[in-house]
Amino acid sequence: MPDCPRASAFRHGPRLCLCLALAFVLALPVQANAGDDLNLSLCKQILARMLCKRTNEFGYVGKLGSGVYILGFFYASKSSEYLCAVMPDGQVILQDRTWRVMRRVVPFTVDPEGKCMTASYSSPDCPASKPIKVCLPKGPQDAKEQNQETFWNRPIPKILEEEYKAMSTRDQQNATAPAPAPAPAPAPAPGNGGQ
C-alpha cells in the first residue's frame, strides 16, 4: 500500500520548517548597518577624490548585494550613477554605471580592530593627496578608552606635577577653611550656685 501524501507531508513537516527557518536566517544581511555605513563612507570619499567633489554631493541610491552600492550625483548637469564594490580582499572597485567608460580599482587596508579603513588615491584634478581614512563613529566605550590612553601617554613628570598641584590645592583649601566655633560651655545647674 503506497504512502498517503498527507502522512508523507506530516513526516517531512519538521524538516521543512527547519529548512525554511534556516533559509530565513541565511537571507538576513551579513554585514551590520555600521559595516554598510563604513563601506559607503569609503566609497564616497574615494569618489570625491576621484572627481574632485564634496562627499555630500553623492547620494545613496541602493544596494545591489553584499558590499556593492549604487551612488548617484549630478555630473555635467545630468544625473549619473556609480557602482562601488567594497571587496573583502582589500579592493574598492568603482565603475560609472551611466557611461561605463571609467573603472577604477583602489586598494584599502583595515586596522587591526576593524574600526577604520584607509585607502590611498590621488587624482591630477584634485589637489588633496593625503590618505583617505574612514572610521566607525565613536561610542561611549571608545571615549573612555581614549581618555585612558591620553592619560597614560603623557610624560611621567607631567602626571606627577598635576598630582602635586591637586594635592597642594586641597591642602591650601583645608588650611584656609575657618576653624569650627567652640561648643558653648554647659550652664551651671540651678539651685546650688549662689551660697
pLDDT digits (tens, 9 = 90+) for 152-175: 676 777 777 888 888 888 777 776
Q: What percent of the chain has pLDDT over 70?
A: 63
- Would you state the pLDDT for residue 167? 84
In the predicted structure, residue 8 carries a pLDDT above the cut 60: no
Block residue for cell numbers 539651685 = 191
Domain parsing of the chain, residue ranges: 33-137, 143-172
Which of left, alpha, beta for 152 (phi over 0: left; psi -120 to 50: alpha)? alpha
Average pLDDT over the chain, rounded to whole? 74
Instruction: Examine the pLDDT at 179 and tell me if it is beyond 50.
Output: yes
Q: Which residue has cell 545630468? A: 78
pLDDT of residue 92: 94
Residue entry with cell 586596522: 111
- Of 101, 96, 73, 99, residue with least CA distance to 83: 96
Q: Which of 5-19, 22-36, 76-90 has the highest mean pLDDT?
A: 76-90
Whether the model pTM is above 0.75:
no
Q: Is a pLDDT exceeding 80 seen at residue 80?
A: yes
CA atoms within 13 A on the CB side of 162: 6
* pLDDT greater than 60 at residue 9: no
Tell me what pLDDT residue 93 has.
Answer: 92
Residue 49 · residue 128 · CB < 8 Å:
yes
Q: Tens digits of per-residue pLDDT, 25-79?
A: 333 333 335 578 889 999 999 999 988 888 888 989 988 888 899 999 887 777 8
pLDDT at residue 180 in the model: 63
- On the CB side of 154, how many CA atoms lie within 13 Å of its CA? 13
